Chain A
Amino acid sequence: MVVLEAKGIKKHFGGVVALADANLICRKGKITGLLGANGSGKSTMSKIISGVYSADGGDIRFKGEQVKYRNPNEAQKNGIAMVFQNLSLVPDLTVWQNIVLGAEEKKRLFLNNEASRIISRNIIDKLLPGLDINRMIYELNPGEMQIVEIAKAVSAKPELLILDEPTAALEQAEVKSLFTYMRSLVEQGVSIIFTSHRLWEVMEICDDIVVFRNGTNAGHIDFETEEKDPEKLIRYITGGIKEIKIEKDRNTLSGNPVLQVHHLSYGGILKDISFELRKGEILGIGGLAGQGQHELMLLLAGNYPKAVCCAELNGKPINLTKPVNAIRNNILLVPGDRQLEGLFLNHPVFTNLIFPKMGLKKQPFITPRKMYKEECERTIARLSIKTDGLDIPVRTLSGGNQQKIVVGKWLPFDVNVLLLADPAKGVDIGAKQDLYAYIIEQVKKERMSVILYASDNQELIEYCDRVLIMYEGRIVSTIEENDINEDRIISASMGIGRTEGERHE
C-alpha cells in the first residue's frame, strides 16, 4: 500500500536546478532507500516532503490526500517526521527533555515529567540502551546526539519517518541497534525513507532503493524481486561509465614537491594525513561531503591554532598555526563559505579586494588608493568580474562574481599554494568556467600549485592531476592521472572494495 507518492517534483535555488522532475514512492511498513551523489537532489527531496522547502512544481500525496506543508511543524502534525543532519537539539536540556521538547506531557497546567521520562526511556532503551536520559545534551558525543535526534523524531509517532544520513556519526554497534529499531518500527506499520552514503548499509536495511542523479530518477531496485547488486547501484549513481578524455598536458609528475604534509591529525576530524603537492599540479580532494575536507583546507590555511602540523614548504618546515603565517608563506585559501568566511558583504568591492594586504607589515600606512585601484581594476579585468564600479557593496553582486572577488583577493600575491574549497558551489556555469580558466592558466604559466576540494566529482575529473579521496578523516585512496573517472571516485568515496573491518576501525 502506497503511503507517500511524490510526482514530478521540481525545485530550483536561484539559477541552480536541484530537482528537475523527480518521483518517489513509499509503501506502508517498508524502508525506502534514497541514493545519489553529492548534489543529486536527494536531500532536497527529503526536505520538500518534510515541509522545510516548498516545491516549485509537482504534487505530493500522503495517505491518499494531496498535501502542501508550509513548515516542518505542519508536516509533523500530519505524521511526517524528519531527522535533520544539522542537529536541532537544545544543549542545556537533558536527553528526555529534548525528546519531548515542544510536545511535553502535561497534567493540567503542569508538566508531567514522569510521563515524559517514561516515553523517552522506552524509545532510548531500544535505540541505545546504555544512554542515561538524565544527561545533558552538551555532554554527549555526536553519535549519541544523533540517536537522541532520532528518538525525538520517533516520539512524535510519525507514520513516515525520514532519516537523512543518520549513520554518519554512529559507531557500528549503534548502527546495528538503529537498524534493529528501524525494523521494529516498520513492523508497527511505520514507513521510512533512509538515505546514506554507505552502500552496504542501504543494501542491508532497505526494501527498495531509489537512485537520483542530477535532480531526476536514475533507477529503482526492488530487493523483494531483484538481487542486491552493488555494481548496478553504482552504475545508476554515476550514470554508466563516461569516457571523457581531457587534455591534461601539464607534465606535472616531474615537478618538485612544493608542499609536503606528514602524519597530520586534528581533533578526531583529520587522522594521519600525509601527502605531497608538486609544483604546477592541481591536486584534487574528493569523497563524500563532510569527511574532513573542509577542515583539511582550513588547517592548511592556518585556521586551527592548536593543530600540530608537520608540513614543509619547498623543503623548509613551516608553522601553520596562524592564518597570517600561511599568508606570509603564500599559502592562500579560498574558503568554502564565501559569505561567512570570505567576504565583507556590506563593504565595497574595493575594500574586499585589498583587505588581505592589510595584515602584511610592508604595506604603507596611508592607503595608496590610486595604486590599489589600478590593481583592483586589473583583477576585475583578469577574472572578468561584472561589477558596477569599485564602490558598490559586494552583497549586490551575483554569487559567481562574489566568488571571483574571493579568488581575486589573492591575485596580487605571489601564490605558492592556492587552496580552493569547493569554489564552484552555488556559482553559475559562466563564472565557474571563468574561474577555472584563470586557475589553469596560472598553473600552466606560473607553475602555481593548487589543492582543489570539490563536491562535484566532474570538476575533479576535468581539472585534477591527482585525486585524494577522504573518508572519515583519512585519505583512503589516491587516484592518479588517467585513472580519474567518476566510477573510480564514487567507489573509492563510498568505501567499495574495502573490507568491512577497514570501514569501521
Chain B
Amino acid sequence: MNALTNRNNPAVKFYLKYKRIVIAFLLIIFLFILGEVTVSNFLSLGQILLTIKLASFIALFALCQMIVISAGGSGLDLSVGYTATITAVLTASVMDGQNSHLWIAILIALGIGIAVGFANGVLTAYLKLPPLVVTLAMANILQGAINVYTAGANITGKPSPVLRIIAAKSIGIFPNILFLLILVAVIVSLILTKTKLGVILFGTGANETTAYLSGINVKLVRCVAFIISGVLASVIGLLLIGNMGMAFKDMGSNYVMPSIAAAVVGGVSLMGGDGNYVGVILGAIFLQTLTNLLVAMGWGDAGKWLGFGIVLFVLLILYVSNRRSR
C-alpha cells in the first residue's frame, strides 16, 4: 500500500485530523513567499510579528464567533464589534488613565457582556429568531446607544496603564498581546478538549437531537454560548482601548466581518460542532497577511476586501462540496 494513502501512517493521520489547520498554515506560508517574490522585504521576523500583532484582535473576536458557531443553530454574532466599542466608550472616562478604577471598568465590561449576550441568547435560542438578524439588530442598538451617549460631547478618558501594557507595549521585539493570545489559545484549547464543556458545546452543535435525547438542555447551551461571546467581546473592548489609547465611536466594528472570515478560513464548520482555536488564529493571521500583501502591492482597501471575498467564497465551495460527498 502506498504510504501516502495509508490511514495508519502518523503523518497522514495528523493531516486527516487537522486538515483545515494544515491548509491554513500552508496558505500563510504561500502568501509570505508570494509576498517576498513580488514585494521585497516581505518575509522577515519583524514583518511576521507585526502581522501577528495586527491579527491578534481579529483572532480574539473570532473566538467569539467560533464559540457561537460551534453551538450550532446557524449561530453567528455580529454584535461583537459594538459590544467591544460600547465597553471601551463607557469605561474610558471611568478609568481615566488610572489603574485604581480598573476593577470598576472590568465590572462594567462583565455587566455589558452578560446583558448583551443574554439578550442575544434568549432571542435566538428560546424564541428561535434568526441569529444573523438578531445580532445585527443588536449591533444597531448598541451603535445607537453609543451615539446617544456621545451625542454632542467628546469621548473623554484614557485606558489604565495596565491595559496599555497588555495591549500596546512589547517586550523586546515581541508584542505583549502576542503572549496574551498564546495564553488565551492554550486556555481555550484546554477547555474545549479537556473538559466536559467542550464535549457538550460541540455535541450540541453537531446534532441537537442526539444531544437533547442524551439529556442536554440544548437551548441553554446555545444561550450560554452567546453570553460567553458577549463577555469575551466586552473584555476585548478593554483591550482595544488599551491598544489604541483612547476610545472612539467605531473602534470595534471593523473587526466583525474579518472575525467571521477568520473562523471560516480556520476550519470552524458553519454547520456547527467542529472547530479548533489554533486553526482560527491561523485563519486570522492568514487574512492579515493577505491584507498586508495586497496593501504592499498597492491594491489597498479594494484588494483587501476583494481578496477576503474570493478566499471565503472559494473555501466555502471547497468545504461545502466536501460535506456533500460524504
List A residues at the B interface (Cβ < 8 Å): 301, 303, 322-324, 327-328, 333, 335, 340-347, 351, 354-356, 358-360, 363-367, 369, 388, 391, 395, 409
Q: Which residues of chain B from 19 to 54 have a CB within 8 Å of any chain A CB?
A: none
Asked if A323 contacts B215 (CB within 8 A), the reply is: yes
Quick check: A358 and B200 within 8 Å, CB to CB?
yes
Residue of A nearest to B217 (CB): A324
Assuming A323-B212, A335-B213, A359-B214, is B196 touching A344 (CB within 8 A)? no
Across the interface, A324 reaches (CB within 8 A) one of B200, B209, B215, namely: B215
Residue of A nearest to B7 (CB): A388
Given the complex, which residues of B lie within 8 Å of A340, measured CB to CB?
A: 207, 209-210
B202 within 8 A of A: yes
With contact pairs A340-B207, A346-B206, A346-B274 given, residues A367 and B199 touching in the complex (Cβ less than 8 Å): yes
A-B contact count (CB 8 A): 83
Please measure, in the bound complex, the distance between the C-alpha atom of A395 and the C-alpha atom of B194, giving whole angstroms: 23
Residues of A within 8 A of B274 (CB): 346
The 5 closest A-B pairs by CB, nearest first: A359-B215, A324-B215, A344-B206, A327-B215, A356-B214
Within 8 A of A (CB), among B311-326: 326
Flag if B215 contacts A365 (CB, 8 Å). Answer: no
- A360 — which chain B residues lie within 8 A by C-beta? 215
Q: A346-B206, A346-B273 are in contact. Are A358 and B199 (CB under 8 A)?
A: yes
A345 smallest CB distance to B (angstroms): 7
Q: A347-B206, A360-B215 are in contact. List 13 more A-B contacts (CB 8 A).
A: A301-B213, A327-B215, A341-B209, A342-B213, A344-B203, A344-B206, A355-B203, A358-B199, A359-B214, A367-B194, A367-B199, A391-B17, A395-B326
Query: CA of A68 to CA of B210 in the docked complex: distance in angstroms?
Result: 39
The verdict on B195 contacting chain A, using a C-beta distance below 8 Å, is yes
B202-242 with Cβ < 8 A to chain A = 202-203, 206-207, 209-217
Q: 5 pairs across A/B with beta carbons < 8 Å?
A: A324-B217, A340-B207, A341-B210, A346-B274, A355-B199
Q: State in angstroms the CA–CA spacing of A409 and B199 once bound together.
A: 14
B interface: dominant SS: helix
Tell whether, in the assembled complex, residue B213 and residue A367 are in contact, meaning their CB atoms are under 8 Å apart. Answer: no
Which residues of the other chain, B, contact A355 by a CB distance below 8 angstroms? 199, 203, 210-211, 214
Cα–Cα distance between A365 and B198 once the two chains are bound (Å) = 10
Structural contact, B214 and A409, CB atoms closer than 8 A: yes
Could you list which residues of chain B lie within 8 angstroms of chain A, going by C-beta atoms?
A: 7, 17, 194-197, 199-200, 202-203, 206-207, 209-217, 269, 273-274, 326
Task: Give the chain A neighbours of B209 by CB distance below 8 A.
Answer: 340-341
Provide the residues of chain B in CB contact with A391, threshold 8 Å: 17
Contacts of B210 in A (CB 8 A): 340-344, 355
In this complex, the member of B210, B217, B273 whose beta carbon has the largest number of chain A beta carbons within 10 angstroms is: B210
What A residues does B200 contact at CB under 8 A?
A: 358-359
Q: Using known A-B contacts A341-B209, A358-B199, A366-B195, determine if residue A347 contacts B273 with beta carbons closer than 8 Å.
A: yes
The residue among A333, A345, A360, A369 with the most chain B CB atoms within 10 A of its own CB is A345
Residues of chain B lying within 8 A (CB to CB) of residue A324: 215-217
Distance in angstroms between the alpha carbons of A395 and B217 in the assembled complex: 25
| Candidates B195, B202, B269; contact of A365 at CB < 8 Å | B195
Q: Which residues of B contact A335 (CB under 8 A)?
A: 213
Bound CA–CA A323/B203 (angstroms): 16
Closest chain B CB from A330 CB (angstroms): 11
Query: Which residue in A358, A367, A395 is a CB contact (below 8 Å) of B203?
Result: A358
Shortest Cβ distance from B216 into A: residue: A359
Q: Are A358 and B202 in contact (CB under 8 A)?
A: no
Q: Is the CB of A365 within 8 A of B207?
A: no
Residue of A nearest to B213 (CB): A323
Given A324-B217, A358-B216, A351-B273 contact (CB < 8 Å): no
A351 touches B215 (CB 8 A): no
Residues in chain A near residue B217, CB distance under 8 A: 322, 324, 359
Note all chain A residues with C-beta closer than 8 A to B211.
Answer: 355
Q: In the complex, which of the residues B199, B211, B212 has the most CB atoms of chain A within 10 Å of its own CB atom?
A: B199
B207 adjacent to A363 (CB under 8 Å): no
A351 CA to B202 CA, complexed, in Å: 10
Please, which residues of chain B bring their CB within 8 A of the CB of A356?
214-215
Chain B residues within an 8 Å CB radius of A328: 215
Residues of chain B lying within 8 A (CB to CB) of residue A365: 195-197
On whether the beta carbons of B199 and A351 are closer than 8 Å, the reply is yes
